[in-house]
Structure 1
């Protein structure tokens, strides 16, 4: 739709309110110019001087705070440059420095806000209230905090409301529609029948429903994910702005050249003339522009990067951690064998397992249900179904207590459960009935065709340590890891165990590549979390630093390539600015470049740095 002038004006106002110092600098410059043109130079110079010194004072306070933390940034030189140009009367140069300073900070703030927006969206969608139905048969509801919901409470969920806790849909309801996109990434509405499991975070459809809480809020799906993500993201790895690494030596060189010029000439103006050409504009603005250009380039190819700091971390990745199912493999397992333990038969195992698993959204559960349905076997109704993250499903099917899941999950319920032999690419789903080991269902999930090449390319780009973290059994994980070229395999991991493993890895930065809701905590805990696959609405995507919108592992390599290209171009731009500035400072030290002319020349240097930084928009990935 074509934007109207009013719409563009409104956007300008909003941007001005968001970045008031940038807007104020432009306004002050315009007012000073009008006053100067009107023949009131004293007023023009006074307004410009007062404003520039005010910004310098504000930046000085911030500079002191950073110095107390041991951080010397480009703000030191910015303050000195502003004050010196005002003192010698070069107010145009002072305003230019202020504009570049505030503009560079605005660009950094914009990039940072993109990352914070996704995290706020995840937390804001967390359910906060519930409508509890009174047990006296009156069907009267009382609004309570979601933390007050107890197991067994009957709850009313109105149209378009969020399901507050995990529970079972009332059996008296034939079918209801839910939006589970924030949990599964499935954009289409999902139909749930009476007695089926409902997960917190789902959005109810157009009809009010009743449900019975099967878990309290602290142990429900969505709240558990939000809690882990919030805890992990509350302690991010410290990131120093790229330009700050050059600030101290560049500031020292500039002050030395200016001081020598002042001493040898005896003219303080010479110091200001040098400092004008030493303005840190290339350092302030080159890196943010290169990073924003890299983020834009990624978005065009289906890679969403949430902030310039993420690009910088991507460029230095030393450890890459992979989830297995759906990341290194296609995530589309097919049933290949059933190994029953007497007195159970393969027919019984499949039928009972599928009946229990029909309430799970896990990819393995779907595979079993689809296989049994295609074989023409009848599914039985299950009650009291409960799913344990990264473990399995427990449900009562008729008179039988059925448990389906990992070997560790089953051994907790049937101690005599034993591991089955697996070939490369196979995985086992273990089954127990009434606390007796019943057997295993064998599924096969293929390694992605480009997985080995992607891992080799990541190693070529500097990643020294490759790790697989998975909840699957070791034998299954090891076979896939061997095919992919990964030697460090950590199997049988729960979500909390994955977070701990990532937190203790020595070679940093650590990049985690995964998909699915159970990966959300570890994606947030990693220095760089990459959520892979067309699941932009999942909790995993919201907690990740990078979201890949297409189901292609090679895009993780492209993300690293974009980070490395962006940092390389940002460094080039910074060095171009530094070298040109030093050369011009040396020339200005001899008094041949007036401050006003120096300001214009410095703008040309800034333009060169900006144009070079914009090359990150189109710089192609290096050959794989």
Structure 2
């Protein structure tokens, strides 16, 4: 009772008052019991009315009025035991919602509970005689610290592996069920669980910038956000309230007995509407998290469940996002290694996905990157750098052509992309890269097209020939290419029908993700800016998770609405029966608890159900 009193004080006090009133009734002092119940319920009514008035001032008219009228009516006709049961039912609804909510969001909570809090920092790690281990809060780890990760421990921050080999469970990050092997120098993500051997890693990012902490931040935002469940229930509030009052008033008018008014209204209390929908949405958020899809609140679930248009970025979204240099075509006066070396040196200052492929190509050929004295990136167009006194430009053909009039377009095959180069105003050549289409992309586009997505379009900054080739392979016929970020934003805002979903990857997609009704970021590779701007972040490196997000959202919304209708239908049937007078007020109040339970149990169905890919 003490723990109950602390956690749910209204429930505990109501139970104590209820027992006291029954005791007074049993010893023949009904009037005393009536006064105790009236005073207590009257205080509860005053508190409820105060909350309701503040909500009305804020422009929110909800379902509390039904419970308020039911309590006043039962007191007015002398059904004080029923009035206490209504108070207990309303207060008990909080406990039921809390229990069902914990069950529904257990996978969200599991992510938060697993968040690493302590890191083992190795002091004097280079000492051959043994380093000293110091435990520090994970937030105090700085880039460059050498950390010890013991067997079965969670990696606290993103780092590079220093030991020869290691095995890490990344299931909480990517959904990959099998442990992944890592070798010295390879990246190890925070949140991974170390295998059965101790490992040393060098911190490459602080805690706040690491993969797992970003996921935790997204989960907290999802958990703390106010989902649309209140609005969803309130859509039914006015008509349901009106119908309940009409039925209760009709029963009173026909019978001539004011008690009948109270007997009908006790079966109209709104707990099923207020509790079932939030539980369903929490279940949907939790199920999505388990599938590697983080949704930033229940409002996102409702939006994505109703999506009618979908737009996709190309590179890193419909394609693998890891292009490789397959051909180097220098122009006259330049050598292949020369332009690759210059391009890779300049691309050190670019965040574009092609830049990484160019740098890898130079590294594989053993070409040392040259010092850059000045560099700037022109968003989505390319990079301009000064190397050994020469001005090097790498980027799109139109961008390079503005600075080197002799630039000529390269003939590309399906799936190929090109980085054009100019040195000191002269066209220097073309680097041809290939980025394979994701194997699941065509199936994802097909699924969306056959599941009520009326329009699918590609919005990309890449050249038209490459974009159209990729679109043809994945089944997207509408392709808008060579777009700047503002153009992507404008097209996303104009796209019909609504709501529209934008799926992207990378920093340059952040503006259009933020401008869309639903922004979906492929965040498995750490696209922080895109993840911050998006409403949905996919932790698994698979476009198929977009289907999971849509399917889970639709299932969740369907469950929430069905739970509401179950509550309404059961309440209406019981109210109609109560109009005959065969359900006393006390029995009706108790019966309503079973209606609550039925709707909550149904709402928990949002935690399961087959994914349809």
TM-score normalised according to structure 2 size:
0.74
Of stretches 408-417 and 102-111 in structure 1, the one that deviates more from structure 2 is 102-111
How many angstroms apart in 1 are the aligned matches of 2:473 and 2:251? 66
* 1:121-175 deviation line (CA, Å, top 9, x unaligned): xxxxxxxxxxxxxxxxxxxxxxxxxxxxxxxxxxxxxx9789xxxxxxxxxxxxx
Tell me by how many angstroms 1:536 deviates: 6.0
Distance 1:77 1:552, change over 3 A: same
**Could you say if the C-alpha distance between residues 485 and 306 of structure 1 is closer, same or farther in structure 2, counting changes exceeding 3 Å?**
same
Given the alignment of the two structures, is residue 47 of structure 1 paired with residue 40 of structure 2, yes or no?
yes
**Aligned residue number for residue 141 of structure 1:** none
Q: SS state of the match for residue 271, structure 1?
A: helix
Matched position secondary structure for 1:248: helix
1:207-254 Cα offsets, whole Å, 9 max, x none, are 9xxxxxxxxxxxxxxxxxxxxxxxxxxxx9999822233233322221
Distance 2:227 2:36 in 1: 48
Structure 2 contact 97–279 (Cα < 8 Å) conserved: no
Taking the aligned partners of 1:450 and 1:567, their CA distance within structure 2 comes to 26
Whether the 8 Å contact between 2:267 and 2:575 is mirrored in structure 1 is yes
Query: Matches of 1:75 and 1:400 in 2, distance apart?
Result: 73
The 1:365–1:535 alpha-carbon spacing in structure 2 relative to 1, beyond 3 Å, is closer
The alpha-carbon distance between structure 1 residues 443 and 535, as it changes in their structure 2 partners (threshold 3 A), is: closer
Match of 1:66 in 2: 59
Query: In the alignment, which residue of structure 1 is the partner of 2:501?
Result: 511
Q: In the TM superposition, what is the alpha-carbon distance from 1:306 to its structure 2 partner?
A: 2.2
In 1: Cα distance, 2:455 partner to 2:356 partner: 33
Within-5 A mapping of 1:196-211: none
How far residue 311 of structure 1 moved from its aligned partner, in angstroms, is 1.3
Q: How does 1:335-350 map to 2 (within 5 A)?
A: 335-350=325-340
What is the alpha-carbon distance in structure 2 between the residues aligned to residue 494 and residue 85 of structure 1?
A: 66
Q: Which residues in structure 2 correspond to 1:496-535 (within 5 Å)?
A: 496-535=486-525
Please name the residue that 2:11 is paired with: 26
How big is the shift at 1:480?
A: 0.8
Relative distance call for 1:481 and 1:103 in structure 2 (3 A) is: farther
8 Å contact from structure 2 (residues 310, 501) kept in 1: yes
Q: Kindly tell me: are residues 451 and 534 of structure 1, through their superposed partners in 2, closer, same or farther at Cα, counting changes over 3 Å? A: same
- Report if the CA contact (8 A) 2:309-2:500 is conserved: yes
Work out the number of aligned pairs and report it. 504
Q: What secondary structure is seen at the aligned counterpart in 2 of 1:551? A: coil
Determine if contact 1:355/1:380 at 8 Å carries over to the other structure. Answer: yes
8 Å Cα contact 1:319-1:466 kept in structure 2: yes
Counterpart pick for 2:259 among 248, 252, 269: 269
1:226 paired residue number: none
- Secondary structure at 1:506's aligned position in 2? coil
Residue from 70, 92, 96 that aligns with 2:84:
92
In 2, the alpha carbon distance for the partners of 1:593 and 1:536 equals: 60
Q: CA separation of 1:85/1:417 partners in 2, compared to 1, >3 Å: closer, same or farther?
A: farther
Secondary structure at 2:322's aligned position in 1?
A: coil
The Cα RMSD (Å) is 3.8
Q: Give the conservation status (yes or no) of the 8 Å contact 1:103–1:285.
A: no
Provide the C-alpha distance between the structure 2 equivalents of 1:95 and 1:594, rounded to a whole number of angstroms: 17
Distance, in Å, in 2 between the alignment partners of 1:447 and 1:574 is: 43
**2:228–2:299 CA contact under 8 A, matched in 1:** no
State whether structure 2 residue 404 is matched by structure 1 residue 427.
no
Q: Which residue of 2 aligns with 1:56?
A: 49
Question: Does 1:188 pair with 2:173?
Answer: no
Task: State the match for 2:189 in structure 1.
Answer: none
| Cα distance in structure 1, aligned partners of 2:146 and 2:573 | 66
C-alpha distance 79-476 of structure 1, shift in aligned 2 (>3 A): farther
**Partner of residue 273, structure 2:** 283
From 430, 444, 456, the equivalent of 2:434 is: 444
Provide the C-alpha distance between the structure 1 equivalents of 2:74 and 2:489, rounded to a whole number of angstroms: 52
Structure 2 equivalent of residue 217 of structure 1: none
What TM-score, normalized by structure 1, do the two folds share?
A: 0.72
Q: 1:409 matched to which residue of 2?
A: 399
Name the SS for the 2:611 alignment partner: coil
CA distance in 2, matches of 1:420, 1:346: 15
Instruction: State the match for 1:483 in structure 2.
Output: 473
Contact 1:77 1:279 in 2 (8 A): yes
- 2:392 and 2:421 in contact (8 A); partners too: yes
> Is the Cα contact below 8 Å between 2:41 and 2:87 reproduced in 1?
yes
CA distance in 2, matches of 1:385, 1:27: 68
Give the unaligned 5+ runs of structure 2: 25-31, 112-139, 148-156, 163-201, 205-225
Deviation at 1:555, TM superposition (A): 0.9
In structure 1, the residue corresponding to 2:368 is in which secondary structure? coil
2:393–2:421 Cα contact (<8 Å) kept: yes
Alignment-derived partner of residue 345 in structure 2 = 355
- 2:530 is aligned to 540
Kept in 2: contact 1:53–1:82 (CA 8 A): no
1:102 Cα deviation from its structure 2 partner: 6.0
* Deviation for aligned residue 1:510: 1.3
- 1:591 is paired with a residue of what secondary structure? coil
Does the 8 Å contact 1:177/1:190 carry over to 2? Answer: no
> Residues 370 and 387 of structure 2 are in contact (CA less than 8 Å); yes or no, is this contact kept in structure 1?
yes
Task: Give the CA deviation at 1:50.
Answer: 1.0
- Report the secondary structure of 1:449's partner residue: coil
Instruction: Identify unmatched segments of 5+ residues in structure 1.
Output: 1-7, 17-22, 119-158, 163-175, 180-185, 192-204, 208-235
Alignment of 1:315 onto 2:308: no
SS of 1:243's partner is: helix
Q: Structure 1 pair 96/31, CA: closer, same or farther in 2 (3 Å)?
A: closer
Alignment of 1:536-615 (within 5 A): 538-615=528-605
